Amino acid sequence: MKVKYSDDADVLVIEFKDGTPVDSIDLKEGIILHLDEKGLPLEMEILDASGVVSMDEFNIMIPTRAGNGAGFSRIERAGLPC
């Protein structure tokens, strides 16, 4: 998964997997889900992102499989690179 932000365009793109979008669904004004040829999500695009998403802090929770149970490790980054 990749998360990209364009400061110039104020667009946040969350890529779930590689592929070529063939269709899209407007989930809400300015929030677009792009789909592959099977109708599965490839990426989500958020227009005017700074008005929708807090750009001050960025946290990612990654599942881990340590020991007998699943847990989460946390990656934190203050602010997003422009």
Q: What is the average pLDDT across 9-32?
A: 95
Stated pTM of the model: 0.71
- What pLDDT, in 10s, does the model give residues 32-60? 999 999 999 999 999 999 898 877 777 77
CA dist 1 and 69 (Å) reads: 23
pLDDT of residue 63: 72
Phi/psi class of residue 16: alpha, beta or left (left: φ > 0; alpha: ψ in -120 to 50)?
alpha
